[in-house]
């Protein structure tokens, strides 16, 4: 499946972020815990190279603890600072702030030695729909940033005060200008980080079936009353459409309706807590 979507506002957003980085001390890089590898933007990675970065694995309540723990180890082994959170819960606030201060300890101490209380400015970035604005609101304890469960909500520049000595900048979600890895694009589409208006939903549904069939994921078979996941993905999709009664007429299946049902089940955890990117796959 070929996916390529890079609207003009994302070009503008990337330029704004590059300009804003000049005033930032560090970066809070928000990654969706379901697609930790796929939700990294190679273009942004190059932009922030050499800067202190706190990687936030958001929506960790949507994956198994063991799976996200494997990613935490992967990052720690490379000397990176990361934290796993569910940004809708305030219980993670203290840990994020603690790690943010740890990340900036050198510069804070440098200013403190001169009698200056340094205000740390962190730019918050991530691909669409990773929960950046929700994280900021959780950290600040109030609704400071505009949120929405769809890509493309945040558009402007929003500096907000987290604490007396910490400020955050929310930024629009940005995708890579070109998807060199089609699999990463598909996985982002599966979780809803790419607008459905630019996607072939039936084909995305077929890719989703293929993902679960290749892994012989039993909860998927159980959800759709399938004996097994053998056969071609299209054959499996036909079985799901038939069992659900998703028919255009007696001879044709409604693939778009079937695909939407499968994607909705995935996103609402009816297929269980599924991590699409496993650390051991790297």
pLDDT tens-digit readout, 255-270: 999 999 999 999 999 9
Task: For residues 97 and 79, give the distance between their C-alpha atoms in angstroms, rounded to a whole number.
Answer: 19
**Is residue 106 classed exposed, middle or buried when 0-12, 13-18 and 19+ CB atoms within 10 A define those classes?**
exposed
Is residue 67 within 8 Å of 215, Cβ to Cβ?
Answer: no
Tell me the sheet residues that pair with 120: 166
pLDDT at 13: 74
Angle at 85 between CA 170 and CA 125, to 5 degrees: 25
Of 160 and 225, the one with more pLDDT: 225
Helices assigned H by DSSP within 149-272: 182-191, 201-214, 218-223, 233-244, 255-267
Percent of the chain with pLDDT over 90: 62
Give SS3 for 175.
coil
265 CB-side CA count, 13 A? 20
Higher pLDDT, 145 or 76: 76
* Angle of CA points 24, 29, 35, to nearest 5°: 165
Give the per-residue pLDDT at 256: 96
Q: Is the Cβ–Cβ distance between 69 and 51 less than 8 Å?
A: no
Predicted local distance difference test score (pLDDT) of residue 9: 59
Q: Are 205 and 244 in contact (CB under 8 A)?
A: no
Average pLDDT over residues 141-145: 60
The pLDDT value given to residue 162: 82
Average pLDDT over residues 65-93: 95
CA dist., res. 180 & res. 263, Å (int): 24
Q: Does residue 192 carry a pLDDT above 50?
A: yes
Question: Could you tell me which residue, 163 or 51, shows the higher pLDDT?
Answer: 51
**What's the length of the chain?**
282
Q: Closest by alpha carbon to 120, among 142, 102, 95, 94?
A: 102
Q: What local confidence, expressed as pLDDT, does residue 127 receive? A: 87
Its pTM stands at 0.89
Question: Which domains are delineated in the chain?
Answer: 8-170 (3.40.50.300), 200-281 (1.10.1580.10)
Q: What is the spatial distance between Cα 167 and Cα 144, in angstroms, rounded to a whole number?
A: 12
């Amino acid at each position: 499946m070929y996916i390529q979507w890079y609207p003009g506002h994302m070009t503008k957003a990337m330029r704004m972020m590059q300009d804003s980085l000049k005033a930032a001390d560090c970066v809070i890089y928000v990654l969706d815990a379901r697609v930790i590898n796929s939700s990294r933007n190679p273009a942004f990675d190059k932009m922030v190279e050499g800067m202190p970065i706190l990687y936030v694995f958001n929506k960790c309540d949507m994956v198994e603890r063991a799976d996200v723990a494997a990613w935490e180890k992967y990052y720690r082994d490379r000397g990176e600072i990361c934290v796993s959170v569910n940004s809708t819960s305030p219980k993670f606030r203290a840990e994020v702030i603690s790690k943010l201060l740890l990340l900036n300890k050198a510069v804070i101490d440098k200013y403190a030695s001169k009698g200056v209380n340094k205000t740390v400015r962190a730019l918050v970035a991530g691909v669409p729909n990773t929960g950046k604005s929700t994280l900021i609101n959780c950290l600040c304890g109030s609704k400071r940033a505009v949120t929405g469960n769809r890509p493309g909500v945040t558009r402007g520049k929003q500096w907000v005060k987290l604490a007396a000595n910490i400020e955050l900048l929310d930024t629009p979600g940005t995708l890579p200008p070109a998807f060199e890895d089609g699999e990463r694009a598909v996985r982002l589409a599966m979780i809803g980080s790419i607008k459905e208006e630019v996607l072939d939903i039936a084909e995305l549904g077929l890719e989703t079936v293929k993902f679960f069939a290749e892994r012989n994921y039993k909860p998927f078979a159980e959800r759709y009353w399938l004996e097994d996941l053998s056969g071609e993905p299209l054959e499996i999709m036909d079985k799901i459409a038939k069992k659900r009664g998703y028919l255009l007429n007696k001879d044709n299946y409604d693939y778009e309706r079937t695909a939407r049902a499968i994607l909705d089940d995935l996103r609402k955890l009816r297929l269980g807590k599924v991590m699409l990117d496993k650390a051991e796959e790297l």
